Amino acid sequence: MFLTVEDYLSVCSEFEMEQLSALTEDRQTAERAAMEQISSYTRQRYDMERAFAAEGEERNAMLVQCAVNITLWLMIHRLPQSMGHDRRECLYNDSIKWLRDVQSSKASPDLPTYISEDGDTDMHNPVRFGSMPPNKYHY
């Protein structure tokens, strides 16, 4: 998977990590759902399969944090007494705000773009520009 248990340590306490470690299958299901939610904002422009296939230091740090925050938000009802609900909600909202900024091109992360057979690196960008060939009015 894209996320490792160590990725959760930046936003979880030891007790929360113990609870998450006991819910491995549920955590992996929530991670897949979080990755799909992230992809729904970014797949038009970025190759998310390649982005999520990255490992170790090659992963985009902000993408990792978004995935962690969204995963924890999806799992909050499985944790005892909805541990840290307010904190999780704030981190989730921050992650969604960043994804919306990426979607609207207000933020430009270092994520792999799609590459066509011609070598074009922005083939899913809906904006195209250019001009028509000049007219030669020779009658």
Q: pLDDT (tens digit, 9 = 90+) per residue, 77-93?
A: 776 676 678 888 899 99
pTM of the complete model:
0.79
* Section 17-45 average pLDDT: 87
Structure tokens at 18: 């113990």
Confidence category of residue 39, pLDDT binned at 50, 70, 90: very high
Taking only the tens place, the pLDDT of each residue in 105-115 is 888 888 888 77
CB atoms within 10 A of CB 30: 22
State how far the alpha carbon of 114 is from the alpha carbons of 27, 35, 36, 37, 66, in Å. Answer: 29, 18, 17, 19, 21
Average pLDDT, the chain: 84
Cβ–Cβ under 8 Å, residues 2 and 31: yes
pLDDT at 52: 92
